[in-house]
Amino acid sequence: MSEIVTAAMMVIGDEILSGRTKDRNIGHLADILTAVGIDLKEVRIVPDEEDEIAAAVNALRSRYTYVFTSGGIGPTHDDITADSIAKAFGVPCEHDAAALALLGAHYAKRAMEFTDARKRMARMPRGAVHIDNPVSVAPGFVIGNVHVMAGVPSIFQAMLDNVIPTLRTGTKLLSATVQCPHGEGVIGGPLGDIQKANPETIIGSYPKYGDGKFWTELVVRSRSPEALEVARSAVEAMVAGLSKSG
Amino acid sequence: MSEIVTAAMMVIGDEILSGRTKDRNIGHLADILTAVGIDLKEVRIVPDEEDEIAAAVNALRSRYTYVFTSGGIGPTHDDITADSIAKAFGVPCEHDAAALALLGAHYAKRAMEFTDARKRMARMPRGAVHIDNPVSVAPGFVIGNVHVMAGVPSIFQAMLDNVIPTLRTGTKLLSATVQCPHGEGVIGGPLGDIQKANPETIIGSYPKYGDGKFWTELVVRSRSPEALEVARSAVEAMVAGLSKSG
């Protein structure tokens, strides 16, 4: 039997919603989760508002195996992710002793002042477990099934590398791509028939447009290699047949 | 008085959640809405599943002035946006006579068969109004406050260009950026004080990291030019003071 493991992502930050910063973490997380056999089922981008963050994480953590967040864990007043997640879990947000020690040692070694702002980065919901940050020390954290990570892409990626080996992964969704020189209007009918005849697969059609012409990428997905191959062959035969008659 | 107009976006598509296609519409919509004075407050990316799409659009359309969607309006079996939106509004999804005529004429002129798949692109919720598609004819549509557009970026952008002049826009959120050579740990405290003293503004701190060093972009936003200038000056003075003492 295939095991299905699901996930959601929550991107936190006014700067993404204003267009000022273009998100680069959604695509990266999607790629990595697909590679390890976890189905990303939903993404929400929410503003820097405590109630919005808390409501969204509660909606997501009850529905999916895992939740991953990016953003809002720095030292400034607009970094409110730790407080918001604590609120969602109904636990206090407090300075974590181990995180304080880690950050304190880091700044001491560099003869930098351990300011109150920097101490903010050691705050997390009571009971949270660190996610190591090899780039800039200040840890992310895990509480329940929620993984809280930085928004800066290089740090998000480094934290995610540390998280992935700790996750339960599912049976990988396999995929096969068939390039199709025809537009969706031509293939839509027969492709729908192939989908109906192959219920163990998910067949997607992705329209491409350029130079005034439409073409498509047809992607067959399945957790069963056998079912994948049957559907892939049917799609290839369909495309070859259309090209011959066209 | 400033008028606030809000919006949400719903991106529809398994291909975004699998990482196969990287979304380019969120950032574009965010930029355009910010430019015209509409606040994008939430984004959701949902899979190609009718109930998920319907539930998300109902959650969003009741909360925000406008909802914009991308994806799932092509001719193939996995394009289920029109049906899902109709379901959300509790109206039938049916072939629209004007859209059928438009598409029929388009294919007739090119001596192309008007297949059942292509006819699918004329289906929309009863009562919907077209959004013109200058790229590939098949229209998007508006129902209530929901604007349903294509996922292919060039078509999404062209449709959005047609939608923007029809929208009520708010008082534009102005912004001013101050480049700061210091990391967030240094500025976090004083910046928080400036935010507290300037409640008519939203001050964001965006950490940048490269070559082993942190620096920040500080962005002051306000609907009042006067309030913006007061806070911007305070932020600049803070940065100058830190650079002198540092």
Q: CA-nearest residue of chain B to A204?
A: B78
Asked if the C-beta of A238 comes within 8 angstroms of chain B's C-beta atoms, the answer is no
Contact (CB, 8 A) for A128 and A141:
yes
* Closest partner CB to B191 (pick from A21, A77, A191): A77
Tell me the CA distances in angstroms from A188 to A32, A183, A205, B62, one per residue in order: 30, 8, 9, 34
| Å between A129 CA and nearest CA of chain B | 22
Q: Which of residues 6-35 of A touch B (CB under 8 A)?
A: 11, 14-23, 26-34
Interface test with A, best of B44, B57, B78 (most A CBs within 10 A): B78
* Closest partner CB to A136 (pick from B28, B52, B209): B209
Percent of chain A with pLDDT over 90: 82
Domains along chain A with CATH numbers: 6-166 (3.40.980.10), 174-245 (3.30.70.600)
Please indicate whether, in this complex, the C-beta atoms of A205 and B31 are within 8 angstroms of each other.
no
Contact (CB, 8 A) for A167 and A92:
no
Tell me the CA distances in angstroms from A42 to A8, A39, B5, B90, B172, one per residue in order: 5, 9, 26, 24, 31
Interface test with B, best of A66, A67, A78 (most B CBs within 10 A): A78
Residues of A in contact with B112 (CB under 8 A): 185
Residues B17 and A41: their CA atoms lie apart, in Å, by 6
Please indicate whether, in this complex, the C-beta atoms of B135 and A195 are within 8 angstroms of each other.
no
For residue B48, give both structure tokens: 């190609």
- A2: confidence class by pLDDT, cuts 50, 70, 90: low
* Closest partner CB to B27 (pick from A19, A40, A189): A19
Q: What pLDDT, in 10s, does the model give residues A27-76?
A: 999 999 998 999 999 999 999 999 999 999 999 999 999 999 999 999 99
Question: What pLDDT is stored for residue B215 in this prediction?
Answer: 87
Please indicate whether, in this complex, the C-beta atoms of B185 and A118 are within 8 angstroms of each other.
yes
Q: What pLDDT, in 10s, does the model give residues A16-39?
A: 999 999 999 999 999 999 989 999
DSSP E strands: which ranges in chain A? Answer: 6-12, 39-46, 66-70, 93-95, 123-125, 129-133, 137-143, 146-149, 174-180, 202-210, 213-222
Most confident of A176-180, A203-207, B183-187, B241-245: A176-180
Q: CA-nearest residue of chain A to B174?
A: A18
Average pLDDT over residues B166-171: 90
**A62: phi then psi, degrees, rounded to nearest 5:** -85, -15
Please indicate whether, in this complex, the C-beta atoms of B45 and A48 are within 8 angstroms of each other.
no
For residue A146, give both structure tokens: 């929620």
Residue B118's closest CA among B131, B108, B105, B103?
Answer: B103
Q: CA dihedral defined by B216, B221, B227, B231, rounded to 10 degrees?
A: -10
Output DSSP code: residue B17: H
Question: What pLDDT is stored for residue B33 in this prediction?
Answer: 96
Residues of A in contact with B39 (CB under 8 A): 17
Is the pLDDT confidence value at B209 over 90?
Answer: no
pTM for the structure as a whole = 0.90
| Å between B246 CA and nearest CA of chain A | 11
- Please, what is the average pLDDT of chain A? 93
Asked if the C-beta of A229 comes within 8 angstroms of chain B's C-beta atoms, the answer is no
Average pLDDT over residues A87-91: 98
